[in-house]
With several copies, the nearest count.
Chain A
Amino acid sequence: MKVGVITFPGTLDDRDALRAASVAGTTAISLWHDEADLKGVDAVILPGGFSYGDYLRCGAISRFAPVMTKVIDAANGGMPLLGICNGFQVLCEAHLLPGALTRNKDLHFLCRDQKLVIENNSTAWTSDYTKGQEILIPLKNGEGSFQCDDHTLAQLESEGRIVARYVGENPNGSRNLIAGITNERGNIVGLMPHPEHAIETLTGPSSDGLGFFTSVLKAMVK
């Protein structure tokens, strides 16, 4: 089972995502933004970072990268696709997921250990969690406030497409404490916090993040 991790210019957490995917037991493969080639991977991760400096809007430029045409096609065909942080922003800009991520409400970049509750464990990336399970993983971004119109929000809520919510005080102003969402099919997940930084207690606040990567392994083997 091969998981591809895309590197855009300015991507930062690509090596961490590769590490997490291999620790989970998959074969992790690095993909380059400028090559429209998925190298036969079974799932793709868009990692965190500041692609193209995120100067215009986060993810706005990367979504046009050559590799993204392939990613969009494959994801529309059901391939598991996870966007973490900047990757989530790319997914929204590419309209693979609804809404947008905007400046944190207090305007600061915020890095902290964040408690989340898993609300949907039937996606390709969350099946190893139980519904209602609380996990602790790092949150780190400047533009993590999830915004969308009321209609979209109602739809996300009623269709159970909220994958994870922040527990406790709202860290960034996201509507309905949304930390992550999925598409109707459940193969595409966007998540603001960083599970790849919580795969061992030595370097992360917990190993709670590993479940995202083991989930996809199971989803593929099935």
Chain B
Amino acid sequence: MAIIVVEVMLKPEILDPQGVAVGAALPRLGFTFAKSVRQGKRFEIEVEGTPTAAQMADIEKAAATLLANPVIETYVVKVQA
């Protein structure tokens, strides 16, 4: 069994109101470490056994068509250590 992780973030030029809200909330709570915050999504996909190259290609395709919207988002596919 393996876990494939797909990380999806809004493209830098797209407004990220959630990240902005978190960035604004932090200093109100006394946390001053953040210069900026972006918020995205993280998918953990459980696959049977070690993923094959064909499976990885499929996951890549699913990320590009379903999990992320390339009009506004970028994504990264990783196999979890």
Contact = CB atoms under 8 A, between A and B. Distances in A.
Determine chain A's interface SS by DSSP, over half rule: loop
Contact of B22 (A56, A102, A105, A173): A56
Given A60-B69, A92-B71, A148-B71, A173 B25 contact: no
B29 A64 contact: yes
Interface in B59-81: 66-67, 69, 71-72
B25 A52 contact: yes
A155 B25 CA distance: 33
Interface of B: 10, 13-15, 17-18, 21-22, 25, 28-29, 39, 66-67, 69, 71-72
A173 B66 contact: no
B53 to A, nearest CB: 25
A106 B17 contact: yes
B18 A103 contact: yes
Interface string A77-111: 00000000000000011000011101111110000
A53 B25 CA distance: 12
Contact of A53 (B17, B66, B72): B17
A57 interface: yes
B14 A53 contact: no
B17 A104 contact: yes
Contacts, number: 57
Contact of A105 (B14, B17, B72): B17
A100 B22 contact: no
A106 B66 CA distance: 18
Interface of A: 52-53, 55-57, 60-61, 64, 92-93, 98-100, 102-107, 145, 147-149, 173
Contacts of A100: 69, 71-72
A148 B15 CA distance: 10
A197 B17 CA distance: 28
Nearest to B68: A57
B13 A149 contact: yes
Contacts of B25: 52, 56, 61, 64
A92 B25 CA distance: 18
Contacts of A149: 13
A137 B72 CA distance: 28
A56 B15 contact: no
A98 B72 CA distance: 11
Contact of A64 (B10, B28, B69): B28
B29 A147 contact: no
